[in-house]
């Protein structure tokens, strides 16, 4: 994809909009608060040819990162990027842990809660809603990250 920016402008925007730091630290409990002062929209690492960015937020973190590279071809900035999960384990946990809890709860009620059919139905419906909501929310965060990246770096689709 191409950007409307020049190579120098792109690097300047990367520096101005990215708080430097490791993505592994950002998505763990060691980095509790973003640095005080002007909070930048992205967090990650970049160099002269590539970048790895995520949203700089502790209240609504996402497990997705934008990984890509950029280069100047015929005075046009060419940017190749993908939005991917930072860790396969985190993605599997957010997608399949509610399903595991749903199955475990139904097995528990099947063997130990013989007279609790109504409670089983209500709790199972609640867990199904949580499953669909968590998947919808993660997809929404992924799209928000990509839209913010496209807007800030003026990428033509």
Q: CA 132 to CA 124: how far, in whole Å?
A: 12
What's the pLDDT score for residue 37? 44
What's the pLDDT score for residue 69? 95
CA atoms lying within 13 Å on the CB side of residue 149? 28
Q: Is residue 12 part of a domain?
A: yes
What CATH number is associated with residue 36? Answer: 3.30.310
Q: What is the pLDDT of residues 36-83, one digit of tens each?
A: 544 888 988 999 999 999 888 777 677 889 999 999 998 899 999 999
Say if CB 41 and CB 56 are below 8 A apart. Answer: yes
Q: Would you say residue 94 has pLDDT above 80?
A: no
| Dihedral sign, Cα of residue 58, residue 61, residue 63, residue 66 | negative
Question: Tokens 């997608």 identify what position?
Answer: 95
Q: Is residue 51 part of a domain?
A: yes
What's the pLDDT score for residue 29? 46
Q: Is residue 104 part of a domain?
A: no
CB neighbours (10 Å) of residue 55? 20
Q: Is residue 152 part of a domain?
A: yes
Residue 120, CA distances (Å) to 108, 124, 126 in order = 10, 6, 10
Number of domains in the chain: 1
Q: Is residue 77 part of a domain?
A: yes
Q: Structural domain of residue 59, as residue ranges?
A: 2-89+133-156
Q: What is the pLDDT of residues 11-43, one digit of tens each?
A: 999 999 998 887 766 444 444 555 554 488 898
Label residue 147 by pLDDT band (50, 70, 90). very high
Q: Is residue 31 part of a domain?
A: yes
Q: Report CA 79 to chain centroid distance, whole Å.
A: 20
Q: Is residue 111 part of a domain?
A: no
Q: Hey, which residues does 46 pair with through a beta bridge?
A: 51
Q: Is residue 10 part of a domain?
A: yes
């Amino acid at each position: 994809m191409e950007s409307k920016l020049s190579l120098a402008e792109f690097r300047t925007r990367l520096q101005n909009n990215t708080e430097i730091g490791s993505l592994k630290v950002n998505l763990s409990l060691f980095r509790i608060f973003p640095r005080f002062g002007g909070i930048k929209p992205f967090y990650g690492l970049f160099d002269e040819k590539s970048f790895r960015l995520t949203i700089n937020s502790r209240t609504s973190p996402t497990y997705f990162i934008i990984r890509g590279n950029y280069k100047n071809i015929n005075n046009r900035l060419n940017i190749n990027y993908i939005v991917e999960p930072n860790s396969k384990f985190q993605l599997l946990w957010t997608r399949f842990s509610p399903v595991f809890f749903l199955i475990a709860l139904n097995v528990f009620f099947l063997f130990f809660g013989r007279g609790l059919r109504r409670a089983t139905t209500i709790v199972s419906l609640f867990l199904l809603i949580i499953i669909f909501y968590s998947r919808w929310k993660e997809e929404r965060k992924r799209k928000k990250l990509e839209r913010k990246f496209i807007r800030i770096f003026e990428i033509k689709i």
